[in-house]
């Protein structure tokens, strides 16, 4: 834990010079990572996310980087959060475009929308209920990663895979401050 508070009475201090953990500090000052262990660092305090330069998803606790990205993006969007963290959108472009991190995770979600096999319903992208329904769909995806039938049932309320995909792309673009869905749908 990185902190200014003394927790020595409650927590054992980690000694990277001991050489028996995920991170090792050599006598000459060089740092090494032990790939047999997962290094997790907790930081007590506020992190200024406005200073983030890059965001990436990594394999962790059995989740692939793709699944981690899908679940994170789905979770942010399902909660109607405005994600202004630098590293998801390249604002130096005109118009702003998703970075490869956002584009990669969003593309996997949007591709999955077109691969869902369901008995399709009546909700069109233009229907006022399409946004909350798309959020409910993404909440299910965030929780299960497309496993289980809840997301299939919610998706099936849309008129077609295209209506589902367009609705989901629209709320992803909105959550990340993209001016349109065009840059998210370039692959289709």
Give the model confidence (pLDDT) of 51-96 as tens digits. Answer: 777 788 877 677 788 888 999 999 999 999 999 888 899 989 899 9
Looking at the fold, whether 41 and 127 belong to one and the same domain comes out as no
* Count of domains for the chain: 2
Q: Does this model's pTM top 0.85?
A: no
Both 37 and 125 in one domain: the answer is no
CA distances from 177 to 39, 54, 96, 187 (A): 33, 17, 8, 20
Of residues 36 and 144, more confidence is placed in: 144
Question: What pLDDT was estimated at residue 187?
Answer: 65
Look at residue 86 in the predicted model and tell me its pLDDT.
82
Give the burial string for 146-163 (b: 16+ CB within 10 Å, else e).
beeeebeebbbbbbebeb
Residues 62 and 104 in one domain: yes
Q: Residue 181: helix, strand or coil by DSSP?
A: coil
Q: Which domain holds residue 70?
A: 49-175
In a domain, 146, yes or no: yes
How confident is the model over 156-186, as pLDDT tens digits? 999 999 999 999 999 999 999 999 999 998 8
Flag whether 180 is in a domain.
no
Q: Are residues 26 and 63 in the same domain?
A: no
d(CA 29, CA 17): 9
14 and 85 both lie in a single domain: no
Residue 181 belongs to a domain: no
> Are both 9 and 61 inside the same structural domain?
no
The angle, 0 to 180 degrees and rounded to 10, between the axes of the packed helices 65-78 and 100-115 is 80
Average pLDDT score over residue span 112-133:
94
């Amino acid at each position: 834990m990185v902190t200014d508070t003394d927790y020595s009475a409650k927590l054992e201090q980690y000694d990277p010079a001991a050489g028996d953990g995920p991170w090792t500090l050599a006598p000459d000052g060089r740092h090494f990572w032990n790939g047999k262990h997962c290094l997790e660092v907790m930081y007590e305090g506020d992190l200024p996310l406005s200073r983030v330069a890059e965001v990436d998803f990594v394999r962790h606790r059995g989740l692939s980087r793709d699944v981690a990205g899908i679940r994170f993006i789905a979770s942010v969007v399902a909660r109607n959060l405005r994600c202004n963290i630098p590293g998801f959108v390249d604002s130096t472009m005109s118009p702003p475009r998703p970075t490869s991190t956002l584009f990669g995770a969003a593309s996997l979600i949007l591709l999955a929308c077109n691969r869902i096999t369901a008995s399709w319903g009546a909700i069109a992208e233009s229907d006022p209920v399409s946004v909350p329904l798309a959020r409910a769909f993404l909440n299910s995806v965030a929780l299960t990663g497309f496993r289980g039938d809840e997301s299939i049932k919610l998706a099936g309320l849309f008129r077609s895979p295209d209506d589902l995909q367009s609705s989901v792309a629209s709320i992803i673009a909105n959550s990340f401050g993209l001016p349109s869905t065009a840059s998210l749908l370039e692959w289709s």
